[in-house]
A and B are shown apart, each in its own frame.
Chain A
Amino acid sequence: MTVFIIRRLMQSLAVVLVMSFIVFGGVNIVGDPVEMMVSDEATQEEREKVIRSMGLDKPWYVQYGRFVAGALEGNLGKSFVYGEPALEIIIHRIPATFELALAALLLAIVIGIPLGVYAGLKPDTVASKSIMAGSILGFSLPTFWVGLMFIMVFAVILGWLPSTGRGDTVPLLGIDVSFLTLDGLAHLFLPALNLALFKISLVIRLARAGTREVVHQDYIKFARAKGLTNSRVVLVHLMKNIMIPVVTVLGLEFGGLIAFSVVTESVFAWPGMGKLIIDSIQSLDRPVIVAYLMIIVLIFVIINLVVDVLYSILDPRVRLSEMKS
């Protein structure tokens, strides 16, 4: 098990290193930030001072070396726009994004699994067919447009829920969260549902396919022959088996949620790192872009690692074979 984790860790490190190179190299081609920092009337001397202060006069490999050295110390440069350390700005925005993504994940599980299991247990009912048709639609609907429609229906026409911002937050373990206040929850619901829509469809499909497969297994029939109640057969014997693929995929999709939060955060003006990156791209705020991409890469690598470990805990068969190897 330990060997397995160490090997995965090495792989992850390699990916992070390669990505740091690509990200830095790529973003270095972005338009000239000096133009934005310096007013048109500035003298050549003033321009060069700015260039020097930002280290832009050095060759790219020196810049890259400084970048890696800085990154290891947690220093990814100062934002051109905010004048604060880029990493700090992003870390400050991470809780909002994670809260949104986790809420969406929760919704995907809470809504998707019961619907998918139902559609798998009773595939021929009208309700099941509607669920499946809905899931096809959920795959096809563009997230941003659904977000707009949510705002139109629930905020503009019905006026039930707010359409922008995080609402009231309270600190939890030193991090501001929305879900503990009523106002915050009201602000969280629409964006989370919007972000979850695609994943709900995915979970429905996975849960249905899993159910259809597992329900015909002998061990389910044996469980019924043992006289277990229907709820125990479904909730324990069936669910534990279908949860393995669902959790794996959902874990991997958590990164996708964070990536797609770019869209949802822009629609609902949710102050997370997704909205920040869009703003930064438009203002060519290079350190923030680089810091964002490095953090995203890190998040993805960690997610993949955690999913692998979780998977082996959930499925005893995998655990055994991994221990042998």
Chain B
Amino acid sequence: MSETAAPPAVPAPADAGKVETPFHRFCRDFAESRVATAALAVLAAIILLALFAPWVAPTDPYDLASVSILDSKLKPGSQSMDGLTYWLGTDGAGRDLVSAIIYGLRISLGVGVMSGVFALCIGTAVGLAAAYFGGRIDTFIMRVVDIQLSFPAILIALILLAILGKGVDKITIALVIAQWAYYARTVRASALVERNKEYIEAAQCLALGHNRIVFRHLFPNCLPPLIVVGTIQTAHAISLEATLSFLGVGLPISEPSLGLLISNGFDFMLSGLYWISFFPGVALLVTIVSINLVGDQLRDVLNPRLQK
């Protein structure tokens, strides 16, 4: 206990017997980078905004009753007819951009996180299977993974959307298929390292079931790289969804994600109404950058090779 250097000047009795858990050390290591901590705070704020959009947003941009076409294309900071201030202006239909962005975040984050979770589950299962069973199964799975990874994710998503059409479910499926291979490769690599350690052999000697060995022994050791890849890939998924929606092959008009908001503003931009595309883009950028910064720091903290 005394090895974990608590300031000796404050011998708080409540702390007595408290051992620094790995989680505490993880938090302390993470907090070493001020940039990453700030990014985490921003990310938390964005997630809260998205979760509580209906309560946080000044107006409901998709409630036809509260949107007035007379308020359309107002500059940032303008007043509405009934005295409301549009801090970021309004779009072509007279919606408040602040509200539209908050609702857009909700959809963008939702699609990104959902596809990330599914891709993670599928990729992990496949990767673990490849590493655990080895042999032909491994060769076959990794050949498929290699071939898929030799094509950019955007191309695969594009092909799938060409087949499936638009929709939240469809773009989620496309993103999952476009991304599972990254998870599979990551999990397999770290599971292979673990698999060759003696404790797995010991577990096999004890005749523990496949499931138990894989999920209780192999899987927990693959978590750190998985968390890092998951973070970065989620940012990637959000960016990809925005891109595809912008191209008009992702989400339908009824699900206005940030990408669709930007797309809507494109036509107005050429006539100088920059804010309709600009601010949703900034929101997208801030989201992606903060996720990436958090992911970078996670990589540094969780990488055992970098630990002192």
**Direct A–B contact in complex, judged by CB atoms less than 8 Å apart:** yes
CB pair B249–A140 under 8 Å, yes or no, is no
Mark out the residues of chain B between 257 and 308 whose CB falls within 8 Å of any chain A CB in the assembled complex: 259, 262, 265-266, 269-270, 272, 274, 277-278, 281, 284-285, 288-289, 292-293, 296
Contacts of B64 in A (CB 8 A): none
Mark out the residues of chain B between 220 and 246 whose CB falls within 8 Å of any chain A CB in the assembled complex: 235, 239, 242-243, 246
* Interfacial residues, chain B to chain A (CB-CB below 8 A): 147, 150-152, 154-155, 158-163, 165, 235, 239, 242-243, 246-249, 259, 262, 265-266, 269-270, 272, 274, 277-278, 281, 284-285, 288-289, 292-293, 296
CB pair B262–A145 under 8 Å, yes or no, is yes
For A278, the closest partner residue in chain B by CB is B247
Q: Which of A140, A256, A263, A281 contacts B288 (CB 8 A)?
A: A140
**Alpha-carbon separation in the docked complex, A63 to B246 (Å):** 34
B215 shortest CB reach to chain A, Å: 32
CB pair B278–A142 under 8 Å, yes or no, is no
Contacts of B296 in A (CB 8 A): 136
Top 10 A-B residue pairs of the complex, sorted by shortest distance between their CB atoms? A145-B281, A259-B152, A259-B155, A281-B162, A140-B289, A140-B288, A256-B152, A144-B246, A26-B163, A142-B239
**Alpha-carbon separation in the docked complex, A263 to B155 (Å):** 11
For B265, the closest partner residue in chain A by CB is A148
Given A145-B262, A281-B158, also A139-B292 (CB < 8 A): yes
Given A27-B162, A31-B165, A260-B152, also A278-B249 (CB < 8 A): yes
CB pair B151–A259 under 8 Å, yes or no, is yes
Contacts of A151 in B (CB 8 A): 269-270
CB pair B262–A263 under 8 Å, yes or no, is no
**Alpha-carbon separation in the docked complex, A26 to B259 (Å):** 26
B112 shortest CB reach to chain A, Å: 12
A307 shortest CB reach to chain B, Å: 11
Task: Pull 19 A–B residue pairs with CB atoms less than 8 Å apart, ordered by A.
Answer: A26-B159, A26-B160, A27-B163, A136-B289, A136-B292, A140-B239, A140-B289, A145-B277, A145-B284, A149-B278, A151-B269, A259-B152, A259-B154, A260-B152, A266-B246, A282-B249, A289-B162, A293-B159, A296-B155
B125 shortest CB reach to chain A, Å: 22
